[in-house]
Amino acid sequence: MNIQATAQIFTEELQAISDMAKNFASKELVAKREENDHYPFGELFTETIKNASDVGFYGVNLPAEYGGTGMGYSALSSILENLSMADASMAGIIFTNAAAIEIINQASRDTDCSALYNMLSAKEALPIAFSSFTGIGEMEIPGASEKGEITGRINFLCLGGISRYAVLPARESTHGARISYYILDLDKHGIKKSEPVYSLGLHACPGVDVFLEKVPAILIGLSGKGIKYFQSMQSHLSLGAAALSLGILKGSFMEALQYTKDRFQGGRQIINWSEVRMILANMAIEIQAGQSCLAAACNELENGVTEWEKTACAIAIHVAEMACRATVDGVQLLGGNGYMKDYGQEKRMRDAHQAQCLLGMAPVRKMELIDLIIKESQ
């Protein structure tokens, strides 16, 4: 088969995934958006989380031999983008799970991780909890004893309240500076969880603060390679983070476009005020630019272009910033209504700002990127 034919099949598969995500969003997410955004948290997404598992959203970066689809990051990005247009919380769950799996994927290059994969292929083992909103340099990291027992605290462990397993880093007691990744069963004795943390956005993808007291855990990959695994995961999932933010931005734009067509101010459709059009134009430009950047970055990764990591990191930071800025405008275009829960805009604004924290603090990530560029230039 020639390259063109392969590309054609790939495009068709991607389109099918995109359509599936759109269908899922319209069936499972749109109608319940406000209900799932509710506080205090109730039975969040229980059915939807299960249905997402049934359609294979948790297995996108899981190797095919362990029940995953192994379709890679273009597919993951497409799913996250399409879901986020409707409700980014589900995308946050899929993202968190994919981040945890990617840690194992990276470790599997060093050691045999088949036992771990087999563990995760069991029913209801997915999604996995993970600190998807925290960079490793800014985390309070628990300690691991020589026996592999974890003691300490993990703040805002995303999905910690609903998942069976968690992937988390720990410092080795024998080598204080060395960080390794572990997987542990969240039902084990010695674990205390806070109530779900009430946060700015992504309410149906909540985190909990977890307190661990000598909790047995399984080492993932090689000891002391935690930072390396995290960085590799960060690069791969940057595309997902960008897609998630882009989806929120697109959703905000589409709602604003419709509203400004439907509503009147000063005797004309709001969209016919040029000041409003300029705001819409800026949003549209950011979407077009973000979309092109994301497609280019996915392409670089799929084709193994050197330095794809830098592109992915830059795009994640850039698109997330754009989404924050644009969703604030997205609320503005609906005026007072944009600020109310009756419309989706205020949620998108909140979600976009929390999504900006995916994979760590944005300024820290910027500094890491420039450090890498400087290092390579020397």
Tell me which residues touch other proteins (CB under 8 A): 39-40, 133-135, 137-138, 155-156, 197-201, 207, 264-268, 273, 275-276, 279, 324, 328, 331-332, 335-336, 338-342, 346, 349-350, 353-354, 356-357, 360-364, 367
**Closer Cβ to other proteins, 122 or 200, answer by number:** 200
**Closer Cβ to other proteins, 140 or 307, answer by number:** 140
CB 239, CB 78: distance < 8 Å: no
Closest distance between other proteins and the C-beta of residue 284, in Å? 17
**Closer Cβ to other proteins, 14 or 328, answer by number:** 328
Measure the CA–CA gap between 168 and 210, rounded to whole angstroms: 11
CB 186, CB 158: distance < 8 Å: no
**Alpha carbon distances (Å) from 174 to 217, 223, 230, 257, 363:** 16, 11, 21, 58, 32
| 120-240-249 Cα angle (round to 5) | 135
Closest distance between other proteins and the C-beta of residue 340, in Å? 5
**Closer Cβ to other proteins, 53 or 332, answer by number:** 332
Closest distance between other proteins and the C-beta of residue 345, in Å? 9
Q: Which distant-in-sequence residues (6+ apart) come within 8 Å of 239 by Cβ?
A: 73, 76, 77, 294, 297, 298, 301, 312, 315, 316
Closest distance between other proteins and the C-beta of residue 138, in Å? 5
Closest distance between other proteins and the C-beta of residue 341, in Å? 4
CB 96, CB 130: distance < 8 Å: yes
**Closer Cβ to other proteins, 218 or 364, answer by number:** 364
Closest distance between other proteins and the C-beta of residue 11, in Å? 36
Neighbouring C-beta atoms of residue 270, cutoff 10 Å: 21
Torsion of the alpha carbons at 242, 244, 245 and 249, rounded to the nearest 10:
130
**Closer Cβ to other proteins, 304 or 336, answer by number:** 336
